[in-house]
Structure 1
Amino acid sequence: MTVTEDILAGLDAEQRQAATALKGPVCILAGAGTGKTRAITHRIAYGVKTGVYDPHRTLAVTFTARAAAEMRSRLRDLGVHGVQARTFHAAALRQLQYFWGDAIGGPVPQLVENKIQLIIEAARRLRLSTDRATVRDLAGEIEWAKVSMLTPDTYQAAAADREMPTGWDVTSVTRLFVSYEDVKTDRGLIDFEDVLLILLGILDSEPRIAATIRDQYRTFVVDEYQDVSPLQQRLLEAWLGGRDDLCVVGDASQTIYSFTGATSEFLLDFRSRYPQAEMIKLVRDYRSSPQIVELANKLLSERTVQQQRQLERQISGKARVTEALPRWPEPLELISQREAGPEPEFAECADEEAEAEWVAERITQLIAPGQDGKPTVEPAEIAVLFRTNSQSAAFEQALTAHGLSYQLRGAERFFSRREVRDGILQLRAAARSADDVSGDAVVGRVKDVLGSLGFSENAPQTTGAARERWESLNALVELAAQLSRTRGEDFTVTELVAELDERAANQHAPTMQGVTLASLHSAKGLEWDAVFLAGLTEGLMPISFATEQAEIDEERRLLYVGITRARHRLYLSWPQARSPQRRGGRRPSRFLQSLTPQARTVAGSAERPTRSRQRARKATMTCRGCGTVLDTGAERKIGRCENCPPQYEEQTLTALKDWRSSIASRDKVPAFVVFTDATLIAIAESNPSSPTDLLRIPGVGKTKVERYGDDVLALMT
């Protein structure tokens, strides 16, 4: 088999068509999970190996540093070197820095990554006060204006119909926009949007520089093309300079960033701009089971049916002809290539607390060791996704109460976290020491070094900053263990630090062990074996401020993205009330009407509890020591509040923890998968003498009694 035949081997018919379409404008419509990254990297590799492409004159752009790093890694695996795979901003910044001296002169302005402080200063200059949440909204509005190629002079007219941040009108936002630009100028700063705007200005006004860049890059590939903004599209056109050696890849059904200025119009109108373009559809889904794919297809097809009905009403005269119909392109109908899996599970919960508890219980079942000693699903392959970040608190508490490790995605960048920066500094110092270790000793050294920053073998049974800090440090330990296994006895702490430096430069965070908690937007581009889509109520899905049909359509696409993140197991849930004390007046999302089967799980009481039931419920949740109501899951599991002294023998708890460590080591699972700390404390305090006694303890089910009961009871004697 030749090199070129080897590159095409393993591609399906449509992927092979994409990989061999090397000339002219090409548009690849790629559904979720259809292997688009595989198709485009093999296309680039095939073009290079056949001599059609010069790797050093090929530029592939995508939207996240992680996606660009994945593309570079795959190209290296295919034996292709020299291709530039970058985000729009990274590619533009590199060019701007190179040509700044010739085009403008002087030092390149400092790039500011966060607008928050600048906007606060701009508001202060105008003697306007605002809270931090509103500042974030204002930053988003300014970013939308700039990627839409609006200036402070043209913004006010263009934004007349846009919803402004709370307490602001379009005139005051316009004044803030002017002040923000003044602050940047005074301090010699530029933001990410300026990078594209300034480079575009140089390309338009400096023919020599434009010709140099166009000579450097002859072949262009644009991933996630449905998310380009007018500014990015204009820069792409400037790079091309009238040529058409362009390949774009996207899926209009995954357009979920319209609020940032992204639009699928450029993807949908590609054939209009390039009538000779070759169109290729990738519809074979290699990610999700048939049951999940069917649900995703049904969600989109329901909107297509609605559109057809709207058109019929207009034609029949039953609706005003002027009634606006937002564009809803015919979605790609995916065809699953995976084996059958379980049906998606739907759960209606009494309130948010009951929903979080239901999710935590399901996750506990998924990660419990099976007959082979392995969990059904690894914790790192489970995600809980929700519409807004504020929904995460309930799930953080529930997972902590069950002793489940988790990571928050979409918060502060991993390598920007204080504990990560400090950890790398201390590891660098350890690597410089005279006794730098190698092989299996690396992990032990890393644990010792990070111990001073708060790392411990067991996760803290708390939420918030302490838990997040531990998760970050544990991710460094896990990465060291992974690299030590793959690189063998020669692997050293020095090599670990070099790996971390490279990852930090590319914002390639290590995989953190534990369940992922993330917003639906931040989950784009990721996938897990099991996905929980939570809080699917009216007002959250679709979000309350989505009132226009185009906005509601985007919410439907957002749910579609959430569904297609799941490979094998999918759970959809919604609460009837916010809390146990409130009336259950929430309605499930309108998007679920055509998806929800008659049979569904009901978690908690489906009716409003009476006062007597509420009193009875509280009576069963009091501390056995002082009688106060137990607030947290961990307290309820142990049966006493944190203020009351322990009621167990210290040597008993120590013996239980030592036993748990040996079992976890034997089965190669995290210690909490065997029993959480809270459950061990409950066992030690209850001092069970029979399997029946064990079953009465929260966190000890029938499976665990069968698996560990004899060992635990032996330790109680």
Structure 2
Amino acid sequence: MEDSVEERILAGLDDEQRAVATQLTGPLCVLAGAGTGKTRAITHRIAYGVHTGVYKPQQVLAVTFTARAAAEMRTRLRDLGAQGVQARTFHAAALRQLQYFWPQAVGGSLPGLVDHKAQLLAEASRRLRLSTDRASIRDLAAEIEWAKVSMLTSDTYVEAAAGRSEPAGMDATTVARLFAAYEDLKVDRNVIDFEDVLLITVGILQEDEKVAATVRAQYRHFVVDEYQDVSPLQQRLLDLWLGERDELCVVGDASQTIYSFTGATSSHLLQFTGRYRNAKVVKLIRDYRSTPQVVQLANSLLAARTAESERRGTRDSWPTPLQLVAQRPPGPSPTFTECSDDEAEAADVARKITELLNNGVPASEIAVLYRTNGQSEAYEQALASAGIGYQLRGAERFFARREVRDSLLQLRAAARTAGNDDVPQQVRDVLSSLGYTREAPQSSGAVREKWESLAALVSLADELSEARADQGFTLQAFVAELEERAAAQHAPTVQGVTLASLHSAKGLEWDAVFLVGLSEGLMPISFADTPEGVDEERRLLYVGITRARKYLALSWSTSRTPGGRASRKPSRFLDGLRPDSGAARSYRQPTMRRERKLSAPAHCRTCGKVLASGAERKMGRCADCPANYSEETFEALRAWRLQAARETDVPAFVVFTDATLVAIAEARPNSLEKLAELAGVGPAKLDRYGESVLSVLAQTN
């Protein structure tokens, strides 16, 4: 007897996944470790609810954090026969509601949406006569975004920002003034930004009961993926969508919270059962992605932090992590490699990648992951020298490429007259006119990149044709899929080694992963100078480790440049993990910024008065006292700082604040020892930037 649709949906799920899929009502909290099949579990849950009649597809809203993840969820639901379910990001769902309800709730037409804050912030800075450059504008934009998703206004920002780094070297009061000026400018121009989309939607739902009732009648069941990443503002919107109901399924893993700097917090996930006393909790711990060797390393990384808490005997913010259980056969042990410098490390990685390629591992199944985007250049050069193709994640978007846009036009035209036979062959026939061939070209560069784009479309046609064979898959359906993916930037797999930052690798996986640059100052990053910041860096490394299915290589270098001082040390996170490291070293926890401000009073070196602000203490003189540095020196230091910030993909003020640059320009230290005496130049920054700063000073008058 043939199985029913419902039985087929549940087939292949493990016991825990099945528990998720069959718990269709009431609050449900799914604690899902990396690689445990959480997307499979929740999409099958939605599909099972639809096919059993418990859910009406149009009344289910599934929310995730990236357009790509939402598009993937829609694809899976369609393949499971659950069309009509809304799968969107928080912003996309809120914007759709705002567009619909604005005329009746506010009146008139919806204001324009600002894609980037830079231009308005630059104008607001000029109005306040503040000196800013491109890097400082980026830092200020990030700070204002954090404030808004934390539901702060310019009036409440100052108190909430106590203890935070000063963006662009500006104190909290100045940032608040700029925040207010930016908001005023938006009103003048009749525009809103992305955070406003959420804030205004929240405001309308709070103030207009009729609108709130309409939304709650539309959506009766909610699923939130990556729940550890919700901000206070997103949680508020979710609460308003729900009203007094509890038809909510949340999925997350506190050990993968890596976006705290954007306002994300895992507290909502960790406190879910306290809020919903009748909530069911299901833990997904069976790791289907990685080998036992990779899983053991990931577990050990988190266990070391748990053991540290137990040794101290104190309660802290570190939650007990999920203990993953590997389901795959054994594989090779992770490797640990120390290199003399960054160039040697990149060359070693390129050599190992060549070996993997020769052993049959596809280039698309290999990734090199680093902490900051500025680290990619060495690996781009090393792979190019080895004749290995690569793609930079976060570079030009797939659907913006010329050959992809041309392909979509040609396929759309062909779909008007095409039959329903052999869609993959039809795609090959169409793309052959644009340069697609069965065999890859031997050349590299633009020709190879173009072929790889076309080959990715062919592979996608093969994949979808097989997955939707029983749904009458046609060329028209393939074109519709491409258009939907283009709107969501859900790119197909492109051949070539992936180069990506650890943050951008979240949600992805590869057969082989190289984690590079694992030295103190980069992992954890030098500006992670609080216990919470260091914990987040540990979670970031955990995310990197769990991207690997089979091969995992970890490496670091003892010097930045060939022949440089071998002063770098391997990351503290590797202690106890690498074979020769022994027990974990004892690291003194970083001191909170608020505690550092309780040091002895500092006096102006010019007039002798007590210095009041942090900026004055860093400069070593009152803001009103005359400066005694060369403008040429200061501008040279600013130019160097901008380049350093770009290389490491961090805000400029994280390298050094303006106040610290002023102090350096005035003191003109001629040795690392003298440089270390200045406020704002700690051991990590001295090691990372000291020699470069002395070089800049030596080249100026």
Q: TM-score interval w.r.t. the shorter chain?
A: 0.7 to 0.9
Q: Which amino acid in 1 is paired with 2:517?
A: G
| Residue number among 390, 393, 413 corresponding to 1:409 in the alignment | 393
Structure 2 equivalent of residue 248 of structure 1: 250
8 Å CA contact 1:357, 1:398 repeated in 2: yes
1:478 and 2:456 matched: yes
Instruction: Give the whole-Å Cα distance in 1 for the aligned partners of 2:283 and 2:480.
Output: 41
The CA deviation at 1:471 is 3.2
Corresponding residue for 1:397?
381
Kept in 2, the 8 Å contact 1:535–1:573? The answer is: yes
Q: Are the structure 2 counterparts of residues 29 and 398 from structure 1 closer, same or farther at C-alpha, using a change threshold of 3 Å?
A: same
- For 1:350, the equivalent position in structure 2 comes to 340
Amino acid across the alignment from 1:192: F
Equivalent residue, structure 2, for 1:560: 542
Q: Does the Cα contact within 8 Å between 1:223 and 1:248 map onto a contact in 2?
A: yes
Offset, 1:63:
0.6
Counterpart-to-counterpart distance in 2, 1:28 and 1:491: 34
Classify 1:346/1:439 alpha carbon distance in 2 versus 1 (closer, same or farther; 3 Å): closer
Q: Which residue, 533, 538, 554 being the options, matches 2:520?
A: 538
By how many angstroms is 1:9 displaced? 1.4
Structure 1 residue 409: Cα displacement: 0.8
- Change beyond 3 A, Cα 1:147–1:366: same
Unaligned residue ranges in structure 1 (runs of 5+): 315-324, 462-466, 601-717
- Conservation of the 8 A alpha-carbon contact between 1:419 and 1:473: no
Distance between the aligned counterparts of 2:551 and 2:493, measured in 1? 20
Contact 1:7–1:46 (CA under 8 A) maintained in structure 2: yes
- Are positions 1:292 and 2:294 aligned together? yes
Could you say what secondary structure the match of 1:521 adopts?
A: coil
Q: What do residues 24-71 of structure 1 show as CA deviations (whole Å, max 9, x unaligned)?
A: 111110000111111111111222222222221111101111111111
Identify the residue that residue 593 of structure 1 maps to in structure 2.
Answer: 575
1:603-682 superposed matches below 5 A: none
Q: CA deviation at 1:124?
A: 3.1
Structure 1 counterpart of 2:493, one-letter code: T
Following the alignment from structure 1 to structure 2, what is the Cα–Cα distance between the partners of residues 330 and 511? 35
Partner of 1:339: 329
Deviation by residue 1:128-167 (Cα, 9 ceiling, x = unmatched)? 3333232222221111001000111111221122102233
5 Å matches for 1:34-45?
A: 34-45=36-47
Equivalent of residue 141 in structure 1, options 137, 140, 143: 143
Please give the TM-score of this superposition, normalised by the length of structure 2: 0.77
> 2:509 is matched with which residue?
527
Q: Secondary structure at the match of 1:27?
A: strand
Cα 1:505–1:576 shift into 2, 3 Å: same
Change (3 A) 1:82 1:448: closer
Contact 1:389 1:518 in 2 (8 A): yes
Q: What is the DSSP-based 3-state SS (H/G/I as helix, E as strand, rest coil) of the residue aligned with 1:392?
A: helix
- Whether 1:362 aligns to 2:352 is yes
Q: 1:510 to 1:2 in 2, by over 3 A?
A: closer
The answer to whether the 8 Å contact 1:427/1:497 transfers is no
Shift of residue 112, structure 1, vs aligned partner: 2.2
Q: Quick one: distance in 2 between partners of 1:435 and 1:559?
A: 49
Q: Does 1:578 align with 2:560?
A: yes
Question: Is the counterpart of residue 103 in structure 1 residue 105 in structure 2?
Answer: yes
Aligned 1:361-440 pairs, distance under 5 A: 361-368=351-358, 370=359, 375=360, 377-415=361-399, 417=400, 419=402, 423=406, 427=410, 440=425
> For residue 116 of structure 2, what is the aligned residue in structure 1?
114
Q: Which runs of 5+ in 2 are unaligned?
A: 467-471, 583-701
Matched-pair identity in %:
63
Q: In the alignment, which residue of structure 2 is the partner of 1:707?
A: none
1:153 partner SS: coil
> Match of 2:494?
512
Q: 1:66 to 1:486 in 2, by over 3 A?
A: closer
* Contact persistence 1:326–1:549 (CA under 8 A): no
Cα 1:501–1:343 shift into 2, 3 Å: same
CA-to-aligned-CA distance 1:562-610 (integer Å, 9 cap, x gap): 000000110000011011121111000000011101399xxxxxxxxxx
Which is worse superposed, 12-21 or 470-479? 470-479
Mapped partners of 1:435, 1:52: distance in 2: 39
Counterpart code for 1:591: F
Residues 532-559 of structure 1: CA deviation (Å, up to 9, x unaligned): 0000000000000011111100000000
Q: What residue number does 1:6 align with? A: 8
Which sits farther off after the overlay, 541-550 or 130-139? 130-139
Question: The residue matched to 1:81 in structure 2 has which SS?
Answer: coil
Give the direction of change, closer, same or farther, for the CA distance of 1:384–1:125 in structure 2 (3 Å limit): same
In the alignment, is the contact (CA less than 8 A) between 1:531 and 1:570 conserved in 2?
yes
The aligned runs of 1:36-435 (5 Å cut-off) are: 36-311=38-313, 326-368=316-358, 370=359, 375=360, 377-415=361-399, 417=400, 419=402, 423=406, 427=410
User: What residue is the counterpart of 1:31 in the other structure?
Assistant: 33
Q: CA 1:303 to 1:502, structure 2 compared with 1: closer, same or farther past 3 Å?
A: same
Bigger shift: residues 515-524 or 423-432: 423-432
The CA distance in 2 between the partners of 1:189 and 1:110, in whole Å, is 5
The answer as to whether partners of 1:62 and 1:87 remain within 8 angstroms in 2 is yes
**CA apart distance, 1:114:** 2.4
User: Are the aligned partners of 1:55 and 1:83 in contact in 2 as well (CA < 8 Å)?
Assistant: yes
d(CA) in 1 for partners of 2:280, 2:318: 22
AA aligned to 2:163 is D
Q: 2:61·2:86 contact (CA, 8 Å) conserved in 1?
A: yes
Q: Does the 8 A contact of 1:382 with 1:531 survive in 2?
A: yes
Structure 1 position 119, deviation (Å) = 2.4
Q: Which amino acid in structure 2 is aligned with residue 116 of structure 1?
A: A
CA deviation string 1:75-102 (max 9, x = no partner) = 1222112211111111111111111111
Match of 1:624 in 2: none
Offset from partner CA, 1:162-217 (integer Å, 9 cap, x none) = 10223322222222212222232222221111111000000001000000101111
Report the counterpart of residue 617 of structure 1 in structure 2.
Answer: none
TM-score normalized with structure 1 length: 0.75
- Counterpart AA for 2:571: S
Does the 8 Å CA contact 2:427/2:461 hold for their aligned counterparts?
no
Residue 303 of structure 2 aligns to a residue whose secondary structure is helix
Alpha-carbon separation, structure 2, partners of 1:396 and 1:492: 39
Does structure 1 retain, via aligned residues, the 8 Å contact 2:254–2:319? yes
Distance 1:495 1:83 in 2: 18
Write the distance in 1 (CA, Å) between the matches of 2:452 and 2:378.
23
Letter in 2 for 1:119: L
RMSD, aligned α-carbons: 2.8
- What code does the residue aligned with 2:500 have? A
Contact 2:423 2:461 in 1 (8 A): no
- Cα distance in 2 between the residues matched to 1:500 and 1:116: 32
Give, as a single letter, the amino acid of the residue that structure 2 aligns with 1:533.
Answer: L
Q: Distance in 2 between matches of 1:271 and 1:532?
A: 38
The answer to which of 387-396 and 62-71 deviates more is 62-71
Q: Give the direction of change, closer, same or farther, for the CA distance of 1:96–1:421 in structure 2 (3 Å limit).
A: farther
Deviations 1:641-700 (A, max 9, x none): xxxxxxxxxxxxxxxxxxxxxxxxxxxxxxxxxxxxxxxxxxxxxxxxxxxxxxxxxxxx
What is the identity, as a one-letter code, of the residue corresponding to 2:289? Answer: R
SS at 1:540 equivalent: coil
